[in-house]
């Protein structure tokens, strides 16, 4: 029996994530835009480049890889009516009291600190950018974005937190005048 591949490099994981998100209708730029809109309210130094870099970095992490791949597959399987029993329509219809999608989102959004979960709550409630688009499209027959909207919102929230952490680190170094060490890069 041939050995199955289950371990991937960060580059491979990033590319798998970018591809599956694209297949489900989401680009890195759309996620980064939510991040930019959220953080630019608090800091004038936020750039779209830093937001994109943050989203890309997050998409290369193993835990996030597992979350993104699983979330996208659950939605696809629900669209294909591949689940059996009550959970099929609970997921397909995006029942309001079904919270496992939000649990996954909370898990991902806390990556760079607790504030990420507050950011995630804001994106989840106010349905910003691509999250609103996904939410609206998900209401169409046989379209399911139950897990995808939360994962996308959570990545934006985590990226937003990373941006804040990077800018704070820069600020601290400005004050201290100490050279940065690569092991402390976020
Ligand atoms: Mg959802």
Q: What is the pTM of this model?
A: 0.94
pLDDT for the residue numbered 182: 66
pLDDT of residue 185 exceeding 90, the answer is no
Confidence of residue 181 (pLDDT cuts 50, 70, 90): low
Q: What's the CA-to-centroid distance between 148 and ligand 1, angstroms?
A: 7
pLDDT for the residue numbered 183: 67
pLDDT for the residue numbered 170: 86
Q: What's the CA-to-centroid distance between 5 and ligand 1, angstroms?
A: 30
Q: Which of 147, 22, 151 has its CA nearest to residue 92?
A: 147
Q: What's the CA-to-centroid distance between 85 and ligand 1, angstroms?
A: 20
Domains of the chain: 10-174 (1.10.3760.10)
Q: What's the CA-to-centroid distance between 107 and ligand 1, angstroms?
A: 14
pLDDT for the residue numbered 92: 97
> What's the mean pLDDT in 102-120?
96
Long-range CB contacts (< 8 A, 24+ apart) of 47-51?
Answer: 50/163, 50/166, 50/167, 51/159, 51/160, 51/163
Give the model confidence (pLDDT) of 62-73 as tens digits.
999 999 999 999
Q: What's the CA-to-centroid distance between 181 and ligand 1, angstroms?
A: 39
pLDDT for the residue numbered 171: 86
Distance (Å, rounded) from C-alpha 157 to C-alpha 111?
9
Q: What's the CA-to-centroid distance between 174 and ligand 1, angstroms?
A: 41
Give the model confidence (pLDDT) of 3-53 as tens digits.
999 999 999 999 999 999 999 999 999 999 999 999 999 999 999 999 999
Q: What's the CA-to-centroid distance between 96 and ligand 1, angstroms?
A: 8
Give the model confidence (pLDDT) of 124-163 as tens digits.
999 999 999 999 999 999 899 999 999 999 999 999 999 9
pLDDT for the residue numbered 173: 83
Q: How many CB atoms lie within 10 A of CB 24?
A: 20
Q: What's the CA-to-centroid distance between 106 and ligand 1, angstroms?
A: 12
Q: What's the CA-to-centroid distance between 49 and ligand 1, angstroms?
A: 28
Q: What's the CA-to-centroid distance between 60 and ligand 1, angstroms?
A: 23
Q: What's the CA-to-centroid distance between 36 and ligand 1, angstroms?
A: 22
Give the model confidence (pLDDT) of 65-96 as tens digits.
999 999 999 999 999 999 999 999 999 999 99
Q: What's the CA-to-centroid distance between 147 and ligand 1, angstroms?
A: 5
Q: What's the CA-to-centroid distance between 59 and ligand 1, angstroms?
A: 19
> What's the mean pLDDT in 90-117?
96
Helix or strand holding residue 151 (H, E): helix 148-176
pLDDT of residue 184 exceeding 70, the answer is no
């Amino acid at each position: 029996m041939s050995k199955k591949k289950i371990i991937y490099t960060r580059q491979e994981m990033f590319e798998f994530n970018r591809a599956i998100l694209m297949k489900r209708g989401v680009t890195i730029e759309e996620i980064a835009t939510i991040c930019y809109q959220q953080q630019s309210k608090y800091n004038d130094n936020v750039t779209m480049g830093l937001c994109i870099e943050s989203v890309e970095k997050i998409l290369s992490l193993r835990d996030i890889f597992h979350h993104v791949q699983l979330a996208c597959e659950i939605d696809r399987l629900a669209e294909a009516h591949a689940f059996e029993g009550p959970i099929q329509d609970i997921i397909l219809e995006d029942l309001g009291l079904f919270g496992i999608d939000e649990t996954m989102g909370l898990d991902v959004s806390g990556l760079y600190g607790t504030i990420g979960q507050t950011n995630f709550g804001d994106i989840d409630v106010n349905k910003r950018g691509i999250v609103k688009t996904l939410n609206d499209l998900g209401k169409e027959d046989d379209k399911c974005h139950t897990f995808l909207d939360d994962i996308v919102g959570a990545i934006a929230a985590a990226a937003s937190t990373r941006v804040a952490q990077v800018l704070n680190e820069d600020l601290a170094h400005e004050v201290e005048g100490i050279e940065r060490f690569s092991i402390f890069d976020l």
